[in-house]
Amino acid sequence: MDNLKYKRVLLKLSGEALMGDRSFGIDPEIVQTIALEIADIVRDGVELAIVVGGGNIFRGINGAAKGMDRATADYIGMIATVMNALTLQDALEQLDEPVPTRVMTAIAMQEVAEPYIRRRAIRHLETKRVVIFGAGSGNPFFTTDTTAALRGAEINADVIFKATKVDGIYDSDPKKNPDAKRYQSINYAHALSQDLQVMDTTAFALCKENNIPIVVFDLGVAGNIRRAVMGESIGTYVGGSCEVN
């Protein structure tokens, strides 16, 4: 389709957004809704890679706070993201018009999914398969936001969509400060200097270095993935030379 703003997209799906109103785990209806939205843009020709988080199941930092070894806890977190990746794969392939997918993991589990091989991932995208990256970067002490920035750079993504539970980037965490103000656009330098916690600094820094724009938007609003891919002004846009407003 000619009116797509972005052709190759790296979509970061928050794990927590998959649990809907639950306090843990996965809401199948939410996953089905996301799958339908994804199918809609893939049929229009978008080459889509997905990094899925694990916050709905396990975060390493929480395990460490309770006394676990941090690296071990992070490995559990990475395995949690594989569960989410397989759930999403299943939902995409169970649609009435199935979407072809491949899950690629950064931690080898060859009975379950392909290992991550960059050139292979790119080939899948060229053949219009949705590639779902599981197990984060494969390294403890990192996050799936950083993984999204890393994989986005590796596959030459035009943009990173961070689809989450907040409707953009605020000048402080809107869950903690009800008076926080939302930005329409900001630049990487501002995000880094203000230490905006919506994404970690490694992720912002990687996007800055590789000049990959980021769009942060609310996954809970129907049609937002399509709006983002058409370049409509939703959420917050982060780019190198953007004015802060």
Ligand X SMILES: Nc1ncnc2c1ncn2[C@@H]1O[C@H](COP(=O)(O)OP(=O)(O)OP(=O)(O)O)[C@@H](O)[C@H]1O
Ligand Y SMILES: O=c1ccn([C@@H]2O[C@H](COP(=O)(O)O)[C@@H](O)[C@H]2O)c(=O)[nH]1
How far is it, in rounded angstroms, from Cα 104 to Cα 116? 5
Give start and end residues of each alpha helix (H) in 105-214: 118-126, 144-154, 188-193, 201-210
Q: Which does 184 bind (CB under 5 to 8 A by kind): ligand X, ligand Y, none?
A: none
How far is it, in rounded angstroms, from Cα 182 to Cα 200? 18
Has 23 been labeled as part of a binding site? no
Q: Which helix (H) or strand (E) holds 79?
A: helix 70-93
**195 burial class (0-12, 13-18, 19+ CB within 10 angstroms)?**
exposed
Using CB under 6 A as the binding rule, the residues of this chain from 87 to 126 that contact ligand X are none
How far is it, in rounded angstroms, from Cα 27 to Cα 21? 8
How far is it, in rounded angstroms, from Cα 177 to Cα 39? 36
How far is it, in rounded angstroms, from Cα 16 to Cα 58? 10
Does residue 143 touch ligand Y according to CB under 6 A? yes
CB of residue 142 vs ligand Y: minimum separation in angstroms?
3
How many Cβ atoms sit within 10 Å of the Cβ of residue 118? Answer: 11
How far is it, in rounded angstroms, from Cα 72 to Cα 21? 29
How far is it, in rounded angstroms, from Cα 126 to Cα 221? 29
CB of residue 201 vs ligand Y: minimum separation in angstroms?
14
**Tokens 């926080």, located at residue:** 180
DSSP label of 69: -
Q: How many residues lie near ligand X (CB under 6 A)?
A: 20
Does residue 54 touch ligand X according to CB under 6 A? yes
Query: Can you tell me which of 165, 220, 226, 232 binds ligand X, judged by CB under 6 A?
Result: 165
Nearer to ligand Y, 59 or 242 (CB): 59
CA dihedral 111, 117, 123, 125 (to 10 degrees): 80
CB of residue 161 vs ligand Y: minimum separation in angstroms?
15
Does residue 204 touch ligand X according to CB under 6 A? no
CB of residue 13 vs ligand Y: minimum separation in angstroms?
9
Query: Can you tell me which of 78, 85, 159, 169 binds ligand X, judged by CB under 6 A?
Result: 169
Has 217 been labeled as part of a binding site? no
Using CB under 6 A as the binding rule, the residues of this chain from 61 to 90 that contact ligand Y are 61, 74, 77-78, 80-81
Q: Which stretch binds ligand X (CB under 6 A): 34-42, 65-73, 125-133, 168-176?
A: 168-176
Does residue 164 touch ligand Y according to CB under 6 A? no
Q: Which does 74 bind (CB under 5 to 8 A by kind): ligand Y, ligand X, none?
A: ligand Y
Using CB under 6 A as the binding rule, the residues of this chain from 18 to 57 that contact ligand Y are 53-55
Which parts are annotated binding residues? Answer: 12-15, 54-55, 59, 74, 137-144, 164, 170, 173
Write out the residues near ligand X by the rule CB under 6 A: 14-16, 53-55, 144-145, 164-166, 169-170, 172-175, 196-198
